[in-house]
Structure 1
Amino acid sequence: MRRVLRDQDQATEVRINRLRVQRLRLLTVLPAVVVTLLAALGPALAPHAAETPVGIPFGQAGADAWFGTDRLGRDVLSQLLYGGWGLLLLAAVIAVAVTALSCVLGTIAALRPRVGMLIERATDFVMLLPAVLGILLVLTSWPDAGAYGLLVVALLFGTPYCARVFAAAAAGVAASGYVEVAQASGETLPHLVFREVIPNLREVITAQLGLRFVAAVYLVSTASFLQLPTTLGASNWAVMVRENASGMLLNPWAVLAPSLAIAVVAVSVNLAVTAFGRGERG
């Protein structure tokens, strides 16, 4: 009887731990979801048009402008709601592209060691070259690149390191018995990559996708803050920080609101990736 009760207590404890993990996942990802939804629905929710002045420059918060006004007298809240979707959408596209390419290259590197050596050399080179310098080189020499230029920068500087991570994760799968049997039976490299190895890298793909998204948010924000050629528009969050920095003492929300929006998305996605990873291992 005592053994049955002990087993029941253990089962109850396991269920409680699972509920805690699920709540942790929801709590960590909730801020990013809220900010993303506000960015997507922002133009419909904004009380004013993005470029319409509603008061004096750097005016204090009031009924017509909850976060006050910016350097041109525009509503900071409306600017915030208009300025997030382009940045987040481009960051998501970059994250998917870098993760997908890195996953394929890393898997090939695990199956073909010579490719792995090339990726290691590329990673060493990228780590020595600052990403900001790459942004300047690509976007200033290719002024009409816009979002495509940022995508090229992200692929050049993000893929080698990410592919190295995938290569390390895929090495164990490539050395397993069923992959060796598939190789011995003469299966092609695409079959080995897409049918045998990549389906077993789901956890790594999820983790890297989240991390690449955070890195892409910082990349796009940096390019916008430096006023390099992009197609994100004039009211994105990074541009708001740069243009309103001179009036931070007059209306801090003109700088703090977009800065907090970027930080909330980045930190929340990071915490969510960590929580999901722990949940899978648990």
Structure 2
Amino acid sequence: MKASRRWWLLALLALILAGPWLAPHPVDQPITLPYATPNAQAWLGGDQLGRDVFSRLLAGGADLLLTSGLVALLVTAAAAVLGVIAALRPTVGRLIERTTDLVILLPTVLGILLITLNWPGGGRVALIVAATILGIPYAIRVTAAAAAPVAATGFVETAVASGERLWYLVLFEILPNLRGTMLTLFGLRFVAAVYVVTTAGFLEIGPQPPAAHWALMIRENSAGIQLNPWAVIAPSLAVGLLATGITLATGSRRARAAAIAQTGRQ
């Protein structure tokens, strides 16, 4: 990644995480008229209750970033292990493949509802579990396809013939050669997690009003988009900017990680 892009992404992530402390107004108190247009007091106008859209925009991204990042990390880690095992043990791989096929058939929204509504207490933990379960099947297919040719190489076959344990093959023989794939997969699953968490926000699953959350801002203010478009446009742009930044970051790292892995095999 070019230095300018790297610093741009780091600045964006730092701004999102520090946003709740940078908000100029309380995020839960009205300061202007409902759906007021931008003015000197509220730079992006007011939302449906007259709260400052700019303050809620600054405070509304940290939860989405942390939740989506955790989901992407859990999905990538689980898929890395299960995908490599599927490539090394064909019998186990077929069982994993059949199980993932069943989960893939489940629509995302229906899966979110089934898990979160039946989870004791619901909330953020239920959303993270639902997003992780729904994301693993797709990620496993990517990992297994990438691990299959590596598992058939001579250095892995030598390790198998020497009696190395399965966990050693997974962690030290194959996964180090899939760093580029894993970075790209993390970026893809992060974007998918943003989609799932945002969709859950529209369904009022996870953060609840009056919390400042980009997904909630879009849903709550959609009825007044003609009065103050910024109440919907600003959080929508923020979600897209976050997803794009992570995708570009992980994608640009793939070539470098693949080159390192290739050097390690030589």
Larger Rg: 1
1:35 lines up with 2:29 in the alignment: no
Q: Secondary structure at the match of 2:31?
A: coil
1:47 lines up with 2:37 in the alignment: no
CA distance in 2, matches of 1:159, 1:108: 14
CA distance in 1, matches of 2:153, 2:258: 20
In the other structure, the counterpart of 1:6 is none
CA contact (8 A) 1:35 1:261 kept: no
Q: Of residues 75, 78, 82 in structure 2, which corresponds to 1:98?
A: 75
The residue type equivalent to 1:73 in the other structure is: G
Q: Of residues 152, 175, 179 in structure 1, which corresponds to 2:152?
A: 175
Change (3 A) 1:113 1:233: farther
Following superposition, the deviation at residue 229 of structure 1 comes to 4.0
Q: Within 5 A, what are the aligned runs for 1:230-249?
A: 230=207, 234-249=211-226
Q: Within 5 A, what are the aligned runs for 1:35-184?
A: 35-142=12-119, 144-184=121-161
The residue type equivalent to 1:42 in the other structure is: G
CA distance in 1, matches of 2:106, 2:133: 11
CA distance in 1, matches of 2:209, 2:78: 24
- CA shift digits 1:13-63 (9 cap, x unpaired): xxxxxxxxx43x744x66654432221111221110111211111111111
CA contact (8 A) 1:179 1:192 kept: yes
Change (3 A) 1:248 1:32: farther
CA distance in 1, matches of 2:143, 2:16: 32
The residue type equivalent to 2:219 in the other structure is: R
CA distance in 2, matches of 1:34, 1:69: 26
1:198 lines up with 2:198 in the alignment: no
Higher mean displacement: 90-99 or 36-45:
36-45
1:251 lines up with 2:228 in the alignment: yes
CA contact (8 A) 1:244 1:254 kept: yes
Q: Percent identity?
A: 50
Alignment gaps of 5+ in structure 1: 1-21
Following superposition, the deviation at residue 142 of structure 1 comes to 2.1
CA distance in 1, matches of 2:122, 2:223: 29
CA contact (8 A) 1:48 1:78 kept: yes
CA distance in 2, matches of 1:233, 1:74: 10
Following superposition, the deviation at residue 280 of structure 1 comes to 5.7
CA contact (8 A) 2:23 2:54 kept: yes
Aligned residues between the structures: 259
CA contact (8 A) 1:143 1:229 kept: no
